Amino acid sequence: MNVVVIGAGKMGLPLACQIASRGASVVAADKNPHIVESINRGVVPFDEPGVDELLAQVVGEGRLRATTDTTEAVKTADVTIVIVPVLLTPENKADLGIILSVTDDIAAGLKKGAMVVYETTLPVGTTRSFAPLLEKSGLKCGADFDLAFSPERVKSKLVLRNLTVNPKVVGGFDEKSAARAEKFYADYIGAPVINVKTLEASEFVKLAGMVYRDVNIAIANELARFAELKGIDVKETFPAANTDGEAYLLFPGIGVGGHCTPVYPYFLIHGAREVGMEANLPILARQINDGQAGHCLDRLSDAIGDLKGQRVTIMGLGFRPGVKEHTCSPAFLIGEELARRGADATLNDPLYSDDEIRHHGFAPSSLEGAALVLNTNHPEYADLDWAALAASGVKAVVDGRNFWDRAAIEAAGIRYIGVGR
């Protein structure tokens, strides 16, 4: 079984390693020559638990290699998997530029009898629209090659575990494609496989899950705003509400970040408009969740006055604690909101160098200023010397993740602003 995985990033490389470790001969195709060179040396170019060992093993055994030449790799592939990013255009629509160019690369090398599987999250209906592009190969979809969609359902830092535990959902261009994808993933991933039959159904599975999460966070955020006005603490009341087996309230916070949750609801929102429907809840959820940064800063102004000219340090660029990933991080919204208020904003993140922080548009700093705004609950931020911070001039903190001990902060004479507290 010759497999090509196109996009050897944080999601694609672990997948390629897993497939190779189960006996396939795998080529990881990536346009970035540094990534390719690193993989061929057996070195993982990012931090993901367990992948170092697995890559060293499969490269050592000659079962995985990397290349920048996608078309050449596809020429001998029985199965080609696409897992390159699709992010948003400035109008919040799916930016298909990369995946369309990859599809052209595949068409130029596709062999008869092969199967192409897209794993990148896509708006419903997109994979089927790739069939005519792949047919530029001169082959007929469904007759000469198979086409399937199988959403990746993993999370960085947990990729290998998620790959083998989370059920793999597959759907196909036709019944034959779906059945072939079902067998392939059962054999080469080892997770349970759920065949939802069509391309559209499998695309929808991922979007439905993402919209569910974003809307549920929005409910938590809206209830948190009510609790703030009523002097109620959600940190105590949400767990109590969750005890009857009916509710599963998530945590409120200063914003939602990442490749997935703040991005994929837009695929559904625009897809719904195309069929004459307004997806009201997802639209509102996006507004509420993206409004949290400004809302938290309004509460900060209420506590320490106009932020204009005041030094405020954002704590955390990443969107998850302990993970160096910042795609759509709320740090960017917090930065914009601070700039709009004329604050002298800086950013601290122990996982990023000062140059990296500057590269992302922030001024690096230590934990200093009139206020600290916590975006990422990195473990490094767990035990801070509040008395020393108060002595250095910190007057208030926004605990955007309800992470800190409120009593300890207030005992040091610092104003504490949590979310829904």
Ligand X SMILES: NC(=O)c1ccc[n+]([C@@H]2O[C@H](COP(=O)([O-])OP(=O)(O)OC[C@H]3O[C@@H](n4cnc5c(N)ncnc54)[C@H](O)[C@@H]3O)[C@@H](O)[C@H]2O)c1
**Footprint on this chain of ligand X (rule: CB under 6 A):** 6-12, 29-32, 35, 70, 83-86, 98, 101-102, 120-121, 152, 155-156, 259-260
Which residues, 6+ apart, have CB-to-CB distance to 32 below 8 Å? 68
What's the closest the beta carbon of residue 137 comes to ligand X, in angstroms?
17
C-alpha span between 78 and 307 (Å, rounded): 59
Which one, 8 or 160, has the nearer CB to ligand X? 8
What's the closest the beta carbon of residue 311 comes to ligand X, in angstroms?
33
What's the closest the beta carbon of residue 380 comes to ligand X, in angstroms?
21
Tokens of 277: 């429907």
Helices (H), 25-125: 33-40, 51-60, 70-74, 97-107
Nearest residue to ligand X, scored by beta-carbon proximity = 9
C-alpha span between 203 and 201 (Å, rounded): 5
Cβ atoms of residues 193 and 185 within 8 Å: yes
Which one, 250 or 390, has the nearer CB to ligand X? 250
What's the closest the beta carbon of residue 354 comes to ligand X, in angstroms?
23
Which one, 182 or 325, has the nearer CB to ligand X? 325
Residue 88 burial (CB < 10 Å; 0-12/13-18/19+)? middle
Cβ atoms of residues 5 and 83 within 8 Å: yes
What's the closest the beta carbon of residue 179 comes to ligand X, in angstroms?
25
Which one, 47 or 368, has the nearer CB to ligand X? 47
List strands edge to edge, sheet with 396-399: 344-348, 311-315, 371-374, 396-399, 415-417
Please state, as a whole number, how many other Cβ atoms lie within 10 Å of the Cβ of residue 407. Answer: 9
- Residue 127: strand, helix, or coil: helix
Which one, 48 or 228, has the nearer CB to ligand X? 48
What's the closest the beta carbon of residue 69 comes to ligand X, in angstroms?
10
Which one, 126 or 156, has the nearer CB to ligand X? 156
What's the closest the beta carbon of residue 316 comes to ligand X, in angstroms?
16
C-alpha span between 125 and 385 (Å, rounded): 53
Which one, 325 or 337, has the nearer CB to ligand X? 325
Which one, 257 or 418, has the nearer CB to ligand X? 257
Secondary structure percentages of the chain, helix, strand, coil, to 5: 45, 15, 40
Which one, 33 or 132, has the nearer CB to ligand X? 33
Vertex 379: Cα angle to 309 and 236 (nearest 5): 85
- Residue 195: strand, helix, or coil: strand
For 134-157, the DSSP string reads: HGGGSPPBTTTBEEEE------TT
What's the closest the beta carbon of residue 79 comes to ligand X, in angstroms?
16
What's the closest the beta carbon of residue 331 comes to ligand X, in angstroms?
16
Task: Specify whether the backbone of 112 is left (phi greater than 0), alpha (psi in -120 to 50) or beta.
Answer: beta
Cβ atoms of residues 31 and 97 within 8 Å: no
